[in-house]
Amino acid sequence: MSTFVLVHGAFRGGWAWRRVRPRLIAAGHDVYAPTLDGDAAGLATWVDQVVRLLESEDLLDVVLVGHSQGGVVVREVALRVPGRLRRMVYLDAAVPDPGERAVDVAPAPPDDALLPPRDTLIPPRPLSAGGDLDEATTAWLNERLVPTPFAPSLDRASTDEPTVPASYVFFADTPAAYPSETTRARLDARGTPYDVLDGGHDGPLTRPDVVADLLLRSAAPRLVVGAPIHPATPTRGTP
């Protein structure tokens, strides 16, 4: 049995893993999907929250997964408690370089003079159906999207690199302007291997079979990074 800790991205909550969790549990694994504090005063608030979960539940040999902005969080968690982790999975994630802020993981460098104040709550933009995101799932998502605090995006990542083994996974249809695409371009430049799954950015809801399969492979003793992934038919209908 393995233990998975699934960290969601901006504007979402632990509910974003609703279709993945039962697949991992059915395979005999333990799964935690915390909802990050919506009033976080900084990145440390989220990192502390996940670290507390790992410590209070005495979780060991964990596969720690960060989707989208969750990638910023799990990077720091891996530096804090590496002994509790088996592997990290960056899932279509923003992954800052040492000393970078989340806002720096963008297609173009941000103009700090134009950034909103630190205490800003960024409202979510309603999603539109398209690609593998069907009408029912879109409506379900839009009912649950919440504002996300801006402060964590202004805090710099640690200057150290995590030593926990990491896998990188991206979705083929994620828009080019998303921070995860900046991460992907950097990996290309560095020759770092990664997997690509069919589907859009909300793959944990639209491609749960594929995501669960990838995570189960990540929990295997010998993960073959960059091995081909066989896409599954997206799940349709209300979660």
In whole angstroms, what is the distance from residue 23 CA to residue 25 CA?
A: 5
Beta bridge partners of 91: 67, 169
In whole angstroms, what is the distance from residue 207 CA to residue 103 CA?
A: 27
In whole angstroms, what is the distance from residue 25 CA to residue 126 CA?
A: 31
Instruction: Identify the active-site residue in 68, 153, 167, 218.
Output: 68
Residue 46 near residue 37, CB atoms below 8 Å: yes
The 3-state DSSP class for residue 225 equals: coil
What is the token pair recorded at 205?
């809801």
Active site residue 153: no
Beta bridge partners of 167: 89
Please state, as a whole number, how many other Cβ atoms lie within 10 Å of the Cβ of residue 183. Answer: 23
Q: Kindly list the catalytic residues.
A: 68
